[in-house]
Amino acid sequence: MKKGLSSQFSFCPALRDMLVSGATVGRTGKKFDKLAALSTVNNLHILRGLHLHLKARRTLEVGLCFGGSCLLFTATHQEISGRPDHQHIALDPFQKQVWDDAGLEVVEKAGLSGYLDFRPEFSSTALPRLLEGGDRFDLIYVDGSHIFEDVFIDAYFGSRLLSENGIIAFDDCSDPHIQKVTKFIRRSLGSSLRELDLSPFRPDRGRSVKYKLALLTRKLQMTAFQRIGVLSRPWNVKFNNF
């Protein structure tokens, strides 16, 4: 397992070390040795594949926390463009008070801060402002609040912030709050957001029994949709139960 991690994440030694040790340290020295909130290895592997596949030039994530996914995005930007331009935005209102700036610290130590634009804000206020400002992103990762109404807002604004063919990915999709949001997208927004088959991006290429079971029972950890059309709907469109 650990040997596998070494080669899988060789592009970012700081991320590899965090995954191998299962621990990290905040700015004032606070130790975190249970990284339950950290994105899973599978998620990180998929995000890396999507980032490279899209050659994503601008990315956004809701929820910085320990900086696992942030390391992945910033290191991949470094690899793709080589020019630090704060091309990855990370939102997290609790980074300092709850996480002792652990995410910012690890990104800084890895020399990747130039690729990051961190905003200590709730996504519900930051995302509408980004939309109003005309920002667009090729890849968005939603891994912030896991409450239905917050994730719904992330989905609403996140999907509108996607560039053409851009992808929005949701973590923890077996959680009923998040499942409800992805179900709404499937039932009502299918003509503008197409669900992606993520199996080619998984380390097991979707061949494991565990993955096949999760697929059958719609209990996948990660779900992603690609923007294929305009997101507006007529004001009086028929309601689809979901």
CB of 170 to ligand SAM, least distance (A): 12
The stretch among 57-65, 74-82, 159-167, 211-219 that binds ligand SAM (CB under 6 A) is 57-65
Q: Do 135 and 163 meet the contact criterion of CB atoms below 8 Å apart?
A: no
Q: Which is nearer to ligand SAM, 92 or 101 (CB)?
A: 92
Q: Cα–chain-centroid distance for residue 126? A: 16
Taking Cα atoms as reference points, which of 156, 153, 169 lies closest to residue 224?
169
Judged by CB under 6 A, does residue 222 bind ligand SAM? Answer: no
The stretch among 8-16, 60-68, 131-139, 209-217 that binds ligand SAM (CB under 6 A) is 60-68
Q: Do 119 and 65 meet the contact criterion of CB atoms below 8 Å apart?
A: no
Q: For ligand SAM, which residue of 56, 91, 106, 196 counts as binding (CB under 6 A)?
A: 91
- Within a 13 Å sphere around the CA of 143, how many CA atoms are in the beta-carbon half? 29
Q: What is the 3-state secondary structure (H, E, C) of 108-123?
A: HHCCCHHHEEEECCCH
The stretch among 34-42, 73-81, 160-168, 182-190 that binds ligand SAM (CB under 6 A) is 34-42
Q: For ligand SAM, which residue of 14, 16, 26, 39 counts as binding (CB under 6 A)?
A: 39
Q: Which is nearer to ligand SAM, 34 or 238 (CB)?
A: 34
Buried b (16+ CB within 10 A) or exposed e, 59-76: bbbbbbbbbbbbbbbbbb
Q: Which is nearer to ligand SAM, 41 or 54 (CB)?
A: 41
Q: What count of residues does the chain have?
A: 242
The stretch among 36-44, 52-60, 158-166, 231-239 that binds ligand SAM (CB under 6 A) is 36-44
Sole residue written with tokens 């996914």? 69
Residues that bind ligand SAM (CB under 6 A): 37-39, 62-69, 91-94, 98-99, 122-123, 143-145, 150
